[in-house]
Structure 1
């Protein structure tokens, strides 16, 4: 059988995992996926992922690819692999792509969603899937603050300290809206720095609470220093929604 490059779109509940990337002696999504693929194809499979989600972060549209010479028909991969995967990971789509396709390098845009459960009383049903904030938040002030972040900038102030990645990114869109008891923020960029979304969210919540003004977010961005930004939002509210390609 000739070599094939298989692209999968995955969704997963990250609650039980210490992120996407393999780590010694800790459960990760990558490990669960690669072990299930290796069992299915009866060969060692290594995958490439579009995004390395952090511990307890979820995904609705993670993209991965891997190469194999196995003869399993493409239409059989989704149901077969789902029968091997744990219940908190599922394949949404499987397709053959050109051999030079690379899930991470070829990605043009990534969209993340952050969910806040904004209600006077907490709920056990959302504790693993949203950041619970009982305080009233001003969405209008948060939206004003977010406009300072749109465009190509040095996002050092929102990058995890000690991260070696180049800090310049292009943030294309931030949308903040309310849906019943939930405040939902969606962010689209060419790529994101380590913990960038969660650090932005922690800062925007400080604006929503009235502890920072919208214009102070511009000053924080220009400072290029993590110590000036707000706290890191917790991981359970974050979802990798989709990855776009040319």
Structure 2
């Protein structure tokens, strides 16, 4: 059966997360329902696999999944057909590519990239409502960057791990935590970019929630090192809400969507 990789974008607001659930809408369920209209294997109950199982309300601009199909589609036509059948769900297939049979969207991945958008302004968000986490009071960019520096590298991230996380080990290598400040007409947006081979459940939201406390002046930057070393979930800052979080990309030894891939 030919295997295809799919690059997928979605607004997570109407979904209970990526993973298919029997009684709640999911992104996986939406894509599989579209595939069922095109392929007899999915009409019979075949499943897709994704690089990351995003939580309820979390968005994606670069999720990757793979599907084994009965028909050997032209990738362009597969993308167009899927997007037709995905309407009106806020899900789009950005690219489709034929891949080798040993390609796996999750296990072949060498890195995941996330973006978190934090809006600071007094007036409520309108156009970005549901797409950012909004706070009202100013934040100190330099302090947040100083706090974030303590997290880069290989650490035991138990403090920043959900109590229901199923990962075998809390030890992860965080390759990048960058924070960009964008001036807006009536406020500021802070964009947190995080990159690692893999993340623990709620790790990104826990890190951003902790750094927001630093930016607000409630915590000094050096406290981030102390809470990391504590290896205690109770030491963590608040877990920020999901609507500001985006899975923006997945890295592979060879990009399946490039001409060379």
TM-score under structure 2 length normalisation:
0.91
Deviation at 1:69, TM superposition (A): 2.2
Q: Distance in 1 between matches of 2:170 and 2:137?
A: 32
Per mean C-alpha deviation after superposition, the further-off stretch among 117-126 and 44-53 is 117-126
Give aligned pairs, total. Answer: 244
1:145 aligns with 2:143: no
* Residue ranges of structure 1 left out of the alignment (5+ in a row): none
Cross-structure match for 2:201 = 194
Aligned residue among 99, 104, 109 for 2:111: 109
Per mean C-alpha deviation after superposition, the further-off stretch among 103-112 and 42-51 is 42-51
Aligned residue among 132, 135, 138 for 1:133: 135
Cross-structure match for 1:208 = 215
Q: Distance in 1 between matches of 2:13 and 2:87?
A: 13
* Residue ranges of structure 2 left out of the alignment (5+ in a row): 254-261
SS in 2 for 1:16: coil
Cross-structure match for 2:38 = 40
Which 4+ residue blocks in structure 1 deviate beyond 6 angstroms? Answer: none
Deviation at 1:62, TM superposition (A): 0.1
SS in 2 for 1:198: helix
SS in 1 for 2:72: coil
Q: Distance in 1 between matches of 2:147 and 2:78?
A: 45
Cross-structure match for 1:51 = 52
Q: Distance in 2 between matches of 1:225 and 1:185?
A: 23
Cross-structure match for 1:18 = 16
Report if aligned partners of 1:117, 1:126 keep a CA contact under 8 Å in 2.
no
Q: Distance in 1 between matches of 2:164 and 2:23?
A: 24
Deviation at 1:118, TM superposition (A): 1.1
TM-score under structure 1 length normalisation:
0.97
Aligned residue among 226, 229, 238 for 1:219: 226
Aligned residue among 91, 95, 98 for 1:96: 98
SS in 2 for 1:14: coil
Deviation at 1:84, TM superposition (A): 0.3
- Superposition CA RMSD, Å: 1.0
Report if aligned partners of 1:32, 1:86 keep a CA contact under 8 Å in 2.
no
1:229 aligns with 2:236: yes
1:177 aligns with 2:180: yes
Aligned residue among 3, 6, 24 for 1:5: 3
1:163-194: CA deviation from partner (whole Å, max 9, x where unpaired): 23111111000110112231100000110000
Q: Distance in 2 between matches of 1:93 and 1:164?
A: 30
- 1:148-167 to 2 correspondence within 5 Å? 148-165=150-167, 166-167=169-170
Q: Distance in 1 between matches of 2:211 and 2:72?
A: 50
